[in-house]
Amino acid sequence: MRLPTFWNVHILLGALHFFLNPLLSSTESLQFMNKRQKSPSFLAATINITVREGEMATLPCAVKNLGTRQVAWRRLANGQVMTVGTLTWIKDKRVFVDNKIRHEQPGVSDWNLLLKNARQKDSGIYECQITDKKRFSRNITLTVIGPPIRKPGVTIEGKEFPNLGEEIRLTCNATGGPHIPEEIDWFKEGDKIDSHKYPNILITKYRSLRDQSLVSQLIIDHSREEDKGMYICRSSDEEIASLKVTVMVAGSVNKKRVPRPVDPKSQSNQHGARYRTGSGSTYGPHQGSSASGLLLKGSAWIALFFYTLLYPLCMHVI
């Protein structure tokens, strides 16, 4: 049975209403929520950050009424996006975002950009922005100064075994962390060195702003045997370093022996006196030559024996 056209249209409108009503309701709800969502804003924070090379750089960015939006960081020098939300978009393991919600302040969250082991090339302007139709952004300027601050300490360097008469030069380097030490004192075997007690010792001092250190040198132009001992340098921060110095005095054992020229005549006389005795026996390293002499003498006696024996026979035959 075919329904009238009126009923066909009525059924079609009912179906459309059934399927489209939830969709229209959700769209209206989103529009209503967007109208009620407050505009985001940045909280007051320091916009100029200065750190020393090697330290952690923290660039603050606190946002109120962020809602469903995202916070992104980028560097203005090259326009490169560094982070979006808590995700890092660059291949630099030193960079990440520290995200915290302030429970004591409803609607406020922190999106601080952290740079580990800051370098001088990291200096520049960074932008913290909120992804929205309307542009919300704040610039933070980072300045990295160097070099890194060394921990308080003292080091001493120098030659430990100078030869007698050589220069002795000891260098003491004292660092005091953020501040350069005020003074360095020198001691020898626990006795403080000054120009009155040790007139042969010269002490110099200078400050190194680059290394944030105080450098002192102890100089002895011509070392003596009595200059040996334990030398100590102490900074005004009570940091101490020591070095034992031994002055090498060359003795007869260390002297090189130079052979003296020998007179050939005296050498032959010495050989004669050494290798001939009253009994005709020989000794010493040339004993082989004496054996040859004995062999010749023995041969002569044998020849004389045969000559004495054979000479009468030969005369008888003749």
Residue 62 pLDDT: 96
Q: Which of 24-28, 89-93, 248-252 has the lowest mean pLDDT?
A: 24-28
Residue 276 pLDDT > 60, yes or no?
A: no
Residue 183, pLDDT score: 94
**Residues found in the chain:** 318
pLDDT reported for residue 252: 40
In our burial notation (b when 16+ CB lie closer than 10 A, e otherwise), range 295-314 reads: eeeeeeeeeeeeeeeeeeee
Among 34-48, 120-134, 181-195, whose mean pLDDT is lowest? 34-48
pLDDT of residue 28 exceeding 80 = no
Provide the β-strand partners of residue 42: 63
Evaluate if residue 149 carries a pLDDT over 60. yes
Of 121-125, 194-198, 199-203, 252-256, least confident by mean pLDDT is 252-256
What confidence tens digit (pLDDT) does each residue in 47-69 have?
999 998 989 999 999 999 999 99
Q: Which of 21-30, 103-112, 295-304 has the highest mean pLDDT?
A: 103-112
pLDDT at 178: 72
> Considering the chain, what percentage of its residues have pLDDT values greater than 70?
67
Query: What is the model's pLDDT at position 296?
Result: 56
What is the structure's pLDDT at 36?
59
pLDDT above 80: residue 73:
yes
Per-residue pLDDT, averaged over 12-27, amounts to: 49
Q: Is the pLDDT of residue 20 over 70?
A: no
Contact assessment for residue 196 and residue 203, using Cβ atoms and an 8 Å cutoff: no
135 pLDDT exceeds 80? yes
For the stretch 152-198, pLDDT in tens is 889 999 999 999 999 999 999 998 777 889 999 999 999 999 989 99
From residue 168, give the alpha-carbon distance in Å to each of 54, 165, 298, 305. 37, 9, 73, 84
Task: Band the pLDDT of 256: cuts 50, 70, 90.
Answer: very low
**Residue given tokens 């520290």 in the structure block:** 98
Q: What is the pTM of this model?
A: 0.47
d(CA 314, CA 318): 6
